[in-house]
Amino acid sequence: MKIRVVSSREEIFTLNPNDRIAHLAFRPSTKISLDWLKPAQRLR
């Protein structure tokens, strides 16, 4: 199992659609929390 670590807002848009597990290493706003699910629909 591979965990993708996202350490900045700019990295959210580089998520691969096949990524399944991701960890945000920063405190996101509500808008960012919803935006990061768009690039990779399979995130858990």
pLDDT band at 5 (very low <50, low <70, confident <90, very high): very high
pLDDT tens-digit readout, 14-29:
888 888 888 889 888 8
Alpha carbons 2 and 19: distance in angstroms, whole number: 8
pTM: 0.66
Alpha carbons 24 and 9: distance in angstroms, whole number: 9
All residues at 6 or more sequence positions from 22 whose CB lies less than 8 Å from its CB, including other chains:
3, 4, 5, 6, 15, 36, 40, 43
DSSP string, 19-30: --EEEESS---H
pLDDT of residue 12: 83
